[in-house]
Structure 1
Amino acid sequence: MIREAVAADAPLLARLLREAFEEYRGRLEPPSSAHGKTEDVVLRELRDGGALLAEEPSGPVGCVFFHVKPDHVYLDRLAVLPPFRGQGVARALMQAVEARARALGPTPVRLNVRLALKDHQDWYARQGYAFHSYGTHAGFSSPTYVVLQKDP
């Protein structure tokens, strides 16, 4: 089941992000900001856009944040706990964000993927996302991530 996250879910969302991104600790440069997500940070992100939670009978297993921009919907922080990967949770969360974009009109969805995570880039490509542009984190002189887009 996928449901809209509310402010009361902020501690849970922060925990999901930290647990889902733990495997990337020490593997990415710059480090993922997911490791430092606090309840306050999540509350700010909820006010700036929103988030969806994927829940199993055992409890929450994944989440995704989204932000409506003037020319696209930005899909942010897709996170699924390791034991639940490969079961369609990420795809269901993405499809829910894509449905929101369609409801806004013919609005594309964009997301960022680290260049170091080629397997993630490939997975998104299989979901219909294509190259849009490169991006560079602050303090770096060359691109560190790719922006992918899925048109409506």
Structure 2
Amino acid sequence: MIREAVSEDASLLARLLRDAFEEYRGRLEPPSSAHGKTEEVVRRELHDGGALIAESPAGPEGCVFFHPRGDHVYLDRLAVLPPYRGRGVARALMEAVEARARDMGPLPVRLNVRLALKDHQEWYARQGYAFLRHGTHEGHAAPTYVVLEKRF
């Protein structure tokens, strides 16, 4: 089941992000900001867009944030807990964001993927996302991520 997150879910969302991104600790430069997500930070992000939570009778499995940006919807922090990966949770969360984007225009959906995460880039490509441009994190001279986009 996919449901809309509410402010009271901020603590749960922060935990989901930290737990799902833990495997990237020490592997990414710059480090993922997911490691420092707090309840307060998540509440602010909810006001800038929204988030969806994937749940089953076993409990929460993952989440995704989305932010309408005028000419597109930014998909942010797609996170699935390790025991639930490979079961379609990420795809279901993405489809829910994409449905919102189609209802808003339709608007394209954009997301960022670290250059170091080639397997993630390939997975998004299989979902219909195409290269739009490179991006560079603040303080870095060379690109550190790609911006991918899916149009409807």
TM score, norm. by length of structure 2: 1.00
1:139 is matched with: 139
Measure the CA separation in 2 of the matches of 1:65 and 1:106: 18
Shift of 1:19: 0.1
Task: Supply the distance in 1 between the matched residues of 2:126 and 2:11 (Cα, whole angstroms).
Answer: 32
In structure 2, C-alpha distance between the alignment counterparts of 1:147 and 1:39, rounded to whole Å: 27
Partner SS, residue 77 of structure 2: strand
Q: CA deviation at 1:18?
A: 0.1
Deviations 1:5-25 (A, max 9, x none): 000000000000000000000
1:17 aligns to what? Answer: 17
The amino acid that maps onto 2:89 is V
Partner of 1:122: 122
Whole-Å separation in 2 of the counterparts to 1:133 and 1:51: 25
Runs of 4+ in 1 over 6 A off after TM superposition: none
Which residue does the alignment assign to 2:106?
A: 106
CA–CA distance in structure 1, aligned partners of residues 58 and 87 of structure 2: 15
Q: Structure 1: give runs of 5+ residues left out of the alignment.
A: none
Residues of 2 paired with 1:28 and 1:104: CA distance? 34
SS of the residue 1:140 aligns to: coil
- Quote the residue 1:45 is aligned against: 45
Provide the secondary structure at the position in 1 that maps to 2:74. strand
Cα deviation 1:44-87 (Å, max 9, x = unaligned): 00000000000010111100000000100000000000000000
Q: Which amino acid aligns with 1:108?
A: P
Q: Secondary structure at the match of 1:51?
A: strand
Q: Name the SS of the counterpart of 1:120 in structure 2.
A: helix
Distance in 1, matches of 2:26 and 2:72, equals 32
- Following TM superposition, by how much is the alpha carbon of 1:118 offset from its aligned partner in structure 2, in angstroms? 0.2
Q: Aligned-pair distance for 1:106? A: 2.0
Report what 2:30 is aligned to.
30
Cα deviation, residue 137, structure 1: 0.2
Output one character per residue of 1:10-45: Cα deviation in whole Å (capped at 9) or x when no partner: 000000000000000000000000000000000000
- d(CA) in 2 for partners of 1:69, 1:105: 12
Q: Distance in 2 between matches of 1:143 and 1:71?
A: 23
3-state secondary structure, aligned to 1:74: strand
Task: Please tell me the root mean square deviation across aligned C-alpha atoms, in Å.
Answer: 0.3
